[in-house]
Structure 1
Amino acid sequence: MVYENLIYKKGDGLALITLDRPNQANGMNYALARELANAAQDIDLDSSIKAVILTGNGRFFCAGGDVVGMSKLGDDLAPEVKRMADELHKAISTFARMSAPVIMAVNGTAAGAGFSLAVTGDYVIASESSSFTMAYTNVGLSPDGSSSYYLPRLIGIRKTQELMFTNRVLSACEACEWNLIHCVVPDDELLERAHSVASNFLNGAAGSNSAIKKLLLQTFDNGLETQMEIEGRLIAECARSDNGREGIRAFSEKRKPNFD
Structure 2
Amino acid sequence: MTTSVRLDRDGPVATIVLNRPESLNAINIDMALCLRDVTEALAGDASVKAVVLRGEGRAFMGGGDLKAIAAAMDDPRAVIETLIANFHACVRTLHRMPKPVLASVHGAVAGGGLSLALACDLVVAAANSRFVTAYGRLGTSPDGGCTHVLSRALGQKKAAELLLCGDAIDAATAERLGLVNWVVANEDLAGQTGRIAARLAGGAAAAASAVKTLLAQAPLQTLDSQLDAERAFFLRCAETADFAEGLNAFIEQRPPRFA
* 3-state SS, counterpart of residue 74 of structure 2: helix
CA distance in 2, matches of 1:188, 1:148: 32
Cα distance in 1 for partners of 2:66, 2:23 equals 10
Q: Which residue of 1 aligns with 2:40?
A: 41
How many residue pairs get matched? Answer: 259
CA positional deviation for 1:253: 2.2
What SS does structure 2 have at the residue aligned with 1:103? strand
Which residue pairs with 1:218 in the alignment?
217
Counterparts of residues 50-65 of structure 1 (less than 5 Å)? 50-65=49-64
Q: Paired residue for 1:255?
A: 254
Does residue 242 (structure 1) correspond to residue 241 (structure 2)? The answer is: yes
| Aligned equivalents of 1:122, 1:110: Cα separation in 2 | 16
CA distance in 2, matches of 1:182, 1:58: 22
User: How far apart, in 2, do the equivalents of 1:88 and 1:191 lie?
Assistant: 25
Structure 1 unmatched ranges of 5 or more: none
How much identity, in percent, do the aligned residues show?
33
Quote the offset at 1:24 in angstroms. Answer: 1.1
Distance 1:90 1:34 in 2: 9
Q: Which amino acid aligns with 2:68?
A: G
CA RMSD of the aligned region, Å?
A: 1.0
Q: How does 1:141-180 map to 2 (within 5 A)?
A: 141-180=140-179
Q: Say which SS state the counterpart of residue 124 (structure 1) adopts.
A: strand
- CA distance in 2 between partners of 1:28 and 1:10 (Å): 22
Alignment of 1:7-26 (within 5 A): 7-26=6-25
Aligned-partner SS, 1:189: helix
Q: Please list, as runs of the form range in 1=range in 2, the aligned pairs for 1:53-92 lying within 5 A after superposition.
A: 53-92=52-91
User: So what's the TM-score if we normalise by structure 2?
Assistant: 0.97
For 1:196-235, what aligned pairs fall within 5 Å after superposition?
196-235=195-234
Structure 2 unmatched runs, 5+: none
Shift of 1:188: 1.0
* TM-score, reference length from structure 1: 0.97
Distance 1:192 1:93 in 2: 28
Paired amino acid for 2:254: R
Q: Distance in 2 between matches of 1:73 and 1:25?
A: 20
Deviation at 1:76, TM superposition (A): 2.5
Equivalent-residue separation in structure 1 for 2:167 and 2:48 (angstroms): 37
Cα distance in 2 between the residues matched to 1:244 and 1:88: 36
Task: For 2:31 and 2:149, locate their aligned partners in 1 and report how far apart those are by CA, in whole Å.
Answer: 22
